[in-house]
Amino acid sequence: MSTYERDFIQAYHDNADALFRYCLFKVSDRERAIDLVQECFTKTWSYVAEGKTVDSFKPFLYRTLNNLIIDEYRRKKDTSLDALVDQGFDVGMDPREALLDSLDGKRAVALLQKLPEEYREVIYLRFVDGLSFAEIADATGENTNTLTVRAHRGIKKLKELITYGY
Amino acid sequence: MDTKIKNIFKAAQDVSLTEAERAHVLSTLQNFMKEHPSAHPQHSTPSPYTNVSLFLRVRYVVPVTLILSLVLGGGTAFAAEGALPGDTLYPMKIHLNEKVETLLAPTPEARAEVAAAQALRRVSEAETLAAHGRLDATTTEEIRQRFSLKSEELKRQVQKLEDDNDHAGADRVSVHFEQELDTHFNAFVGLDERSATATRPEITTIKDDIQQRIKHVSDERMKARARRIKDVQEKLNAGTDIHTQIRTTSDGEQKGDSVEQNGSDQGRKDGPTPESPEGGQENGPILPLPAQLGL
């Protein structure tokens, strides 16, 4: 195995869990999240197999996964859970809850999912997956200053959710 | 940050792939990689996973490989940077690249950083081997010995910094080393959980070595700080004794100490004054404390 292949496999070991968590947070379907993470890694390998250089795997993987998630949203737009609720369909217990690992993790992720969309992603990537603002900017294409402001406001909003309920 | 919020983030981090899911995705990925081999030259990219010590790489690794490349020609020295135990170029990495790296360190703190980086590099190599199921008993023992040697070298360099009163430098290197070891320890915990039965003893052994070294480094740092505090306290006490001597003399019981006096003695018999915490003299200069302590 070449050094580059070793590095890529190491990048898998180092980032697979965090990418899966993030993907599950975004798509709320465990099997689909696993498929998307797998696709993220195979797409990344295809990119480097063509002879292109990746300076740092972590932000590249997050960027690739983000794009796959956007495609997933577009694909599921007409059949999304929210769309079903909007149409008056009573889904009863949130099926997302059945897909998460532990009670604490379930509650934590459910609470984070209550954040407004503009704060949710940066809060999750920064404080759950531990990416730096520079890495998040690289992964999402957003400006670092914008991200820090959103993170600050997101934390304030989270405090409100904890204090006043949701 | 609010503790409740921190707990939320921590709990969210518990969500992860199961062992079976992780293995399945890896297996699929490896098959994909075999079917789509890389067009990269085998040694073109320096591995960020075999040279962990980022606070050292930029300053010292590039000059080392440049110098060796000029001397040896080609990319041999550079290729050796990514070598692992068992690879053909690994002896070059250990016995040549790293020796030059040590020689190029210009300051005592830099030499300590080099020792730290080289110790961490051993751990990083073990991590990479373990991740690929290549960590056997022989390699483990080799890595353990080298890690121990470099860690002891680091300890000597840090002690030199302390002896030279560069306490900030000693702390900087020591804290960095401990933090990096902590990161590796967590990685080994993960590897231990995921590893096949055959490699688990080796992984556990290295994980335990890391844990012991973290404790050792932390203990040494605490002892050094305790010694510094004790030194300062002794100096302060020496200053207190001098104030007591001065006050005793000023009561007129003894003469002949080195304190100079000006003006009236009346202030001396008063109680504590704002000027002197010991309640001593109000009037006249006394030798300043730093001068008394010889500082």
- Give per-residue pLDDT as tens, B157-176: 999 999 898 888 888 888 88
Q: Do B45 and A3 touch (CB under 8 A)?
A: yes
A122 near B CB under 8 A: no
Which ranges of chain B would DSSP assign to H, the alpha helix?
3-12, 19-35, 54-56, 62-72, 76-80, 90-92, 98-104, 108-131, 137-163, 167-194, 200-250, 289-292
Q: Do B9 and A21 touch (CB under 8 A)?
A: no
Domain boundaries, chain A: 1-94, 100-166
Please report, in angstroms and rounded to a whole number, the separation of the first and last CA atoms in chain A. 51
Task: Please give the CATH topology (third level) of the domain spanning A1-94.
Answer: Rna Polymerase Sigma Factor; Chain: A (1.10.1740)
Q: Amino acid identity, residue A130?
A: G
Q: Do B17 and A17 touch (CB under 8 A)?
A: yes
Q: Do B25 and A16 touch (CB under 8 A)?
A: yes
Q: In the prediction, which pLDDT does B3 show?
A: 78
| Weakest mean pLDDT among A59-68, A95-104, A154-163 | A95-104
**Mean pLDDT (whole number) for A65-78:** 82
Minimum-distance CB partner of B38 among A2, A10, A112 = A2
* pLDDT(B38) > 70: yes
- pLDDT digits over A12-36, tens only? 999 999 999 999 988 888 999 999 9
Is A100-166 a CATH 1.10.10.10 domain?
A: yes
Of the pLDDT bands very low, low, confident and very high (cuts 50, 70, 90), residue B282 is very low
Average pLDDT of chain B is 73
A112 near B CB under 8 A: yes
Instruction: For residues B98 and B41, give the distance between their C-alpha atoms in angstroms, rounded to a whole number.
Output: 24
Q: In the prediction, which pLDDT does A9 show?
A: 92
Backbone angles phi, psi at A87, to 5 degrees: -85, 5
Q: What percent of chain A has pLDDT over 70?
A: 79
* pLDDT(B250) > 70: no
Minimum-distance CB partner of B11 among A1, A107, A162 = A107
**Mean pLDDT (whole number) for B176-203:** 76
B49 contacts B81 by C-beta, under 8 angstroms: no
Q: What percent of chain B has pLDDT over 90?
A: 12
**Distant-in-sequence, close-in-space partners of A42: CB < 8 Å, separation ≥ 6:** B28, B29, B32
Q: In the prediction, which pLDDT does A75 show?
A: 78
Q: Do A3 and B82 touch (CB under 8 A)?
A: yes
Q: Do A101 and B14 touch (CB under 8 A)?
A: yes
* pLDDT(B292) > 80: no
Say yes or no: ipTM exceeds 0.90.
Answer: no
> Quick one: angle between helices B19-35 and A30-49, nearest 10?
30
Q: What percent of chain B has pLDDT over 70?
A: 62
Q: Report chain A residues whose CB lies below 8 A from the CB of B12.
A: 21, 25, 105, 108-109, 112, 124, 128
B154 CA: distance to closest CA in chain A (Å): 28
Of the pLDDT bands very low, low, confident and very high (cuts 50, 70, 90), residue A94 is very low
Minimum-distance CB partner of A111 among B8, B14, B30 = B8
Q: In the prediction, which pLDDT does B50 show?
A: 43
- Half-sphere exposure for B83 (CA within 13 Å, toward CB): 21
Domain boundaries, chain B: 44-232
Minimum-distance CB partner of B47 among A7, A49, A50 = A7
| Weakest mean pLDDT among B61-65, B87-91, B118-122, B287-291 | B287-291
Residue with tokens 């991590």: B127
Instruction: For residues B98 and B146, give the distance between their C-alpha atoms in angstroms, rounded to a whole number.
Output: 12
Q: In the prediction, which pLDDT does B248 show?
A: 62
Candidates A158, A159, A72, A83; CA nearest to A122 is: A158
Average pLDDT of chain A is 80
- pLDDT digits over A43-71, tens only? 999 998 888 888 889 989 999 999 999 88
Task: Please identify among residues 23-62 of chain A the ones whose CB lies closer than 8 Å to any CB of chain B.
Answer: 24-25, 34, 37-38, 41-42, 45-46, 48-51, 53, 56
